Structure 1
Amino acid sequence: MVVHNPNNHWIDKNCLPWSKDYFNQTVINTTYENEELKIVITSVDSVSGDCDVTQRKGKVLCIYDMRLQFSITIEDKKNDDSEEKLTATIVVPEFVHDQDEDDYVFEIESSDKKAEIRKYFVPVLRTKLMKFQPDLLDAHAKDVQHATD
C-alpha cells in the first residue's frame, strides 16, 4: 500500500513483503565451492523488520532495518566417508540502509566450519546483499513518485 500525504509532500510504500520475495529469489542457491568444501544457502528462514521506499520533498530514497536469517549446507569434499552434509544458520541481525558494506555483522550458528564459512562464504553473501538497495529502488521508485509544484 502506498500512503500519500500531499500537505507534507511525502509518499511511503511498505516493501517488506517484496523484500521477502526478493531474498527468496536472489539468495537461495548462493554457492561457494572450492576443492575442499561446498557451501550453499538452502533457505531464507526469516526476513523481519521495516523496509520502505519513500519520496520526501521530491527525492526518492529507501529506509530499511531488517533482520535476515538464512540456512546453509556445508559439504566437506575432503571427507569421502561422510555422505552427510553439515547445516548452519547465518543471521544478519541488522541489515540497514545506511551501513557500509564492512559494517554488516554475520552471526554463524551451529557449525563446525565457522571459520571457513566466515572466510569463504560471507564475502559471496555480502556481495549479493549489497545489490538489495539499488534493486529495491529500481523496483519501487516509480510507485512513490508524484509531481511536485
Structure 2
Amino acid sequence: MAKWGEGDPRWIVEERPDATNVNNWHWTEKNACAWSQEKLKELFINFKIEGEGVLCKITEMEKCEGEAVANNRKGKLIFFYEWNIVLKWISDGNSSKDIEGKINIPNLSEENDISEVDIEVTLKDSTDEGEKVKQFLHTKGKDAIREKLKKYVSSLKEEFTKGMILPKKDNDKEKENISNITSGFNIKMQMNAAMTPTNNNKTANCKISTTTIKQNVKFQCRADEFYNVLSSIEMVQAFTKNPVKLEPKKNGQFELFGGNIHGEFIEITPTKIIQKWRCKQWPSEHFSDVTIDICEKNDHTEVNLTQSGVPVSEELSTKENWDRYYWDAIKRTFGFGYFM
C-alpha cells in the first residue's frame, strides 16, 4: 500500500479511460439479493423430478429469505450468500386427489458444501401413495435439487459478477490473476490482512479527512447481558465466529476478525465502553475513538455508538460493518431480536 496521501501507480487514470476502479484496486460490493431470488425462481418453478414411476413438479417458491452479495477486492471475487428456501411440490396420484408437499432448504450458504446442505421433504397428507412419493424425493429427488443449487452458485459467480472485474491495460494478465473465493466475513477479513502489506510509515505529517459516525440500536435484553457480549471472550468469539484477543480492562488490547479490527480499551464499565479502534487497512497508526453507551430501558436496552476520527472514504463501509458484523450478528447469535 502506498503512503497515505501519495500517488500510487495502480491508481493511474491512464490505465482506464473512464477512471472507474482503476486496476480493480478498490473494494466494491454488489447486492445480489433480488437477482438471486429471481434466479432461484427461474431454476425451481415448474422444475420436474421424475423417476421410479413418480413425477413431481415444483409449483411455487413459498419462501426465499436471506441475502447474497459479491465483492471485488483487488481483483479477487468474494461471495457471501445465505438462504432459507421453501418450495411447494405436487405429484399426480392414482386417486382423484393430487399428492402435495414441501421441500425445505434451511441452510444454503457459502459456509456449507452443496452436498452438506440440508434438504427436508414433507407431505401435506400422509397416505401410502404419498409416502412413496416422499421417499422418492428424499432419496433421488435430493440429488436433482442439489444440482439446481449448484447451478445457482455457479451463476452467481459467473453470470451475476460480469462487469465487476473491470478490464485494464494488460487484460490477459489480469485474467490470470483473478480467482473466485467463496467466503464469509471471517475469511474475508483474513484475506484483507494477508493482502495488506506492512506499512511502517507515519501519518502524523499527513492530513486525513475524518468524520464522526453515530448509531442508535435497540436490543431485547438487559444492559448487563449486552455488556457481557462485548466483554467476554467466549461471547465475542460466538458472534464474530472467529478467535479473538480480548483484555477487557483499562489499557487492555483487543483484536477481532483475524486482527483486521484492533485497538485498546480506554474505559470499560457496564454502562460505557471507550476504545481506541482501527481497521487494519486504514492509514498506518491512524485510530478512531469509539464510545459505546449502554442504557437499560423498561423493555429493552438502548446502545448508542459514537465513533470519531473515521476516514471520510471509509464512512459508509464502517457504518455498514457495524450494522452487519456487530449489531445484526449479536441479535442473531444471542436471540436479542429486533426491537419493533
Give the TM-score band, short-chain normalised.
0.7 to 0.9
Q: Deviations over 1:45-89 (max 9, x none)?
A: 12111101111232013210111111000223xx3xx12211111
Supply the distance in 1 between the matched residues of 2:166 and 2:28 (Cα, whole angstroms). Answer: 8
Report 1 or 2 for greater relative contact order, CA contacts < 8 Å, sequence distance ≥ 6. Answer: 1
3-state SS of 2:112 partner: coil
Which structure 1 residue ranges, 5 or more long, are not aligned? Answer: none
Contact 1:30 1:125 in 2 (8 A): no
What letter is aligned with 1:127?
Answer: E
Contact 1:32 1:38 in 2 (8 A): yes
Instruction: Report the CA distance shift for 1:139/1:89 in structure 2 as closer, same or farther (over 3 A).
Output: same
How does 1:1-149 map onto structure 2 within 5 Å? Answer: 9-34=26-51, 36-76=53-93, 79=94, 82-111=95-124, 112=126, 113=131, 114-146=134-166
Contact 1:19 1:47 in 2 (8 A): no
Contact 1:39 1:121 in 2 (8 A): no
TM (normalized to structure 1)? 0.81
Q: Deviations over 1:13-53 (max 9, x none)?
A: 11110111111112112112235321111111121111011
Supply the distance in 2 between the matched residues of 1:35 and 1:90 (Cα, whole angstroms). Answer: 19
Supply the distance in 1 between the matched residues of 2:114 and 2:91 (Cα, whole angstroms). Answer: 25
What letter is aligned with 2:77?
Answer: V
TM (normalized to structure 2)? 0.38
Equivalent pairs counted in the alignment come to 140
- Structure with greater proportional strand content: 1
Supply the distance in 2 between the matched residues of 1:142 and 1:127 (Cα, whole angstroms). Answer: 22
Q: Tell me the C-alpha RMSD between the 2 structures.
A: 2.3
